[in-house]
Amino acid sequence: MKTKTKSILVKALFAVLLAVLVIIEIARGFWALDEEVYLLLSRFVGGIACILFMLEFSFTKVLFPVGNKKPLLWLLALPGFIIAINNFPFISFFAGDCGISASADRILFYALICLATGFFEEMAFRGCAFMLLLKNRTQSKGRIFFAIFVSSAVFGLIHLVNVAFGGSLGASLLQIGYSALIGALCSMVLLLTGNIWLCVALHAIYNFCGGLVDRFGVVGSVQWTRAEIIFTAIVSVIVAAYFVVIFVRMPNSLADALFGRKKEEELENNVNSSAK
């Protein structure tokens, strides 16, 4: 009865949040809701809705990850944050090719938007899509790779919607590519740490660092100079190779642990050993 009541409550809250999202969309269209406020509210509410979806499917281990993984595995995931931080054009900035002109409150509000976006997209694509795909595919590396590939590809392709809102096809295709790669990176961080909040942080930092110059750059700013592109490419290749090696060498039990199966298997082994 408790489980049934919990499921009904989750579904009711989910319906309420969907109604709130509809109201936000109406406010955006009819009452000219500020675009930045719209992004902040819609992403935050959408992320909570995704959490309810995860609760309905019992994907709780990644939401409440206390004691999930050993510290060494967290350290193995840290190079992913190099990619996120390096999305800021440090070489161009310190060489004087680009600059930022904005008040602290505007930058802080933009950081909140990036956090809300990272929160929603990670809950949707790693917490829901990736976990659903991975649920019955933890027996082999090929199946785990399939879950990473499909969820990351869908995450990348969803950015085609930018074309419908006036974005150029070339820029959208580029965004599809690097979004899919970031999706794969976040999937690896989730596998290693069992902590979806680290994926949210990585995603938010990546968006924040990459959007600062685009949003607040002074006139004449050139973000992607040749030196910046070469350096970013080198860092990306090194980190990508690192995570490929980690993926090949990691045990499949890391995927099982996301669903709480590791402790169940250990308990079963202990019971079998005692019986013998």
Residues 6+ apart with CB under 8 A from 265: 253, 256
Across the chain, what does the average pLDDT equal? 89
Residue 218 — φ and ψ, nearest 5°?
A: -70, 165
- What are 8-41's pLDDT values in tens digits? 888 899 899 999 999 998 998 888 889 899 999 9
DSSP type of residue 107:
H
pLDDT band of residue 260 (cuts 50, 70, 90) is confident
- What are 97-147's pLDDT values in tens digits? 999 999 999 999 999 999 999 999 999 999 999 999 999 999 899 999 999
Specify the amino acid at residue 188.
M
pTM above threshold 0.85: yes
Rounded to whole angstroms, the Cα distance separating 110 from 73 reads 31
- What are 156-166's pLDDT values in tens digits? 998 887 766 66
Res 142: pLDDT = 95
Which has more confidence, 111 or 6?
111
Q: Tabulate helix, strand, coil % of the chain (nearest 5).
A: 80, 0, 20
Q: How far is CA 201 from CA 106, 128, 192, 206, in A?
A: 20, 17, 15, 9
pLDDT band of residue 62 (cuts 50, 70, 90) is very high
Rounded to whole angstroms, the Cα distance separating 159 from 111 reads 21
pLDDT band of residue 6 (cuts 50, 70, 90) is confident
DSSP type of residue 220:
T
Rounded to whole angstroms, the Cα distance separating 76 from 264 reads 25
Domain ranges of the chain: 61-275
Question: Ramachandran region of residue 32, left (φ > 0), alpha (ψ -120 to 50) or beta?
Answer: left
Res 79: pLDDT = 96
Res 74: pLDDT = 87
Cα 210 to chain centroid distance, Å, stands at: 15
Rounded to whole angstroms, the Cα distance separating 129 from 118 reads 15
pLDDT band of residue 269 (cuts 50, 70, 90) is very low
